[in-house]
Amino acid sequence: MRLYRYETKIIWVMVFLFVLPANTSHASQIFVKPTYSIYKNSTLVPNEKHGNKKVILLTIDDGPTIRSKEMIDILKKHGVGAIFFINGSHDKDMPEMIKEEYKQGFMIGNHTWSHLNLKKEKNFSKIKEEVNKNTKLIKDKTGESAKFFRPPYGEFNKEIKDFIKSEGMTMMNWSGAAKDWEKNTENEEVFIGNVMNNIHNGEILLIHEHLWTVKYLDKLLTTIKEKGYTFIDPNQITTN
């Protein structure tokens, strides 16, 4: 009898140590009911009439970089989900990072292999190669296909959009940006101001992984939340 009770205790300890944590990690693998749709490739609208409109989706482009890990830590601290739109050509310097982003519950999006302006490219087989090479890398790293595609510079045409759809991805541009590619955003006020002066319901917000972006990210997330906005999990978005 004593042995039986001892064994039961051990089983419960193992459940708490291994089984429960295993089910709560990997957020992107848990089924989340889609509650938002993308409107005109760039903003989010609730599927339900009375759904919360005051939401924001954070998207982070052009990684992975040496600063990705620090960004993950800040996002985790705030409980904020995001899509990392990656370029496969940036993977070679840090081959574990895409896997890490995915493991930490973030979504990986396709942003082409080498950040090619697809609309300017005349050779369609080159366009296909840029997209598909990145698709393969994401699948290799995460075991899943990317759900969303972001064209570099936001540039695409109908032919490109149809191709992206035929590859099982949904086009996603943005409706607001920190404009952190501009040198003056190294100034905190300018950086935060670029976002807050344009903040709106259903915004898809674009940031990058620059040194100053990481430096102001904590403040940015706090400021957005203080305005009453909720960051949504990318898994809540309907795909086409």
For position 180 contacting Zn ion by CB under 5 A, the verdict is no
Pick the closest to residue 157 from 122, 119, 110 (CA basis).
119
CA–CA dist 7, 4 (Å, integer): 5
CB of residue 17 vs Zn ion: minimum separation in angstroms?
Answer: 41
- For Zn ion, the binding residues in 11-30 under the rule CB under 5 A are none
CB of residue 98 vs Zn ion: minimum separation in angstroms?
Answer: 16
CB of residue 150 vs Zn ion: minimum separation in angstroms?
Answer: 7
Residues in the chain: 240
Using CB under 5 A, which of the segments 62-70, 120-128, 135-143, 176-184 binds Zn ion? 62-70
Using CB under 5 A, which of the segments 72-80, 152-160, 164-172, 211-219 binds Zn ion? 152-160
For position 62 contacting Zn ion by CB under 5 A, the verdict is yes
Q: Which residue is nearest to Zn ion (CB)?
A: 61
Binding footprint of Zn ion, residue count (CB under 5 A): 3
CB of residue 30 vs Zn ion: minimum separation in angstroms?
Answer: 28
Q: Between residues 84 and 229, which has the closer beta carbon with respect to Zn ion? A: 84
Using CB under 5 A, which of the segments 27-35, 147-155, 156-164, 174-182 binds Zn ion? 147-155
For position 61 contacting Zn ion by CB under 5 A, the verdict is yes
Whether the Cβ atoms of residue 134 and residue 113 lie closer than 8 Å to each other: yes
What are the angstrom distances between the C-alpha of 77 and each of 70, 73, 88, 128, 182? Answer: 11, 6, 27, 38, 27
CB of residue 149 vs Zn ion: minimum separation in angstroms?
Answer: 12
Using CB under 5 A, which of the segments 46-54, 144-152, 212-220, 225-233 binds Zn ion? 144-152
C-alpha 213, offset from chain centre: 16
Q: Between residues 33 and 92, which has the closer beta carbon with respect to Zn ion? A: 92
CA–CA dist 231, 34 (Å, integer): 14
CA–CA dist 225, 153 (Å, integer): 28
As a whole number of Å, the CA-based R_g of the chain is 20
Give kind and range of the element (H or E) at residue 148.
strand 148-149
**Buried b or exposed e, range 63-101, using 16+ CB within 10 angstroms:** bbbebbbebbeebeebebbbbbbbbbbbbeeeeebbbeb
CB of residue 15 vs Zn ion: minimum separation in angstroms?
Answer: 44
Using CB under 5 A, which of the segments 100-108, 124-132, 150-158, 230-238 binds Zn ion? 150-158
| Contact footprint for Zn ion (CB under 5 A) | 61-62, 152
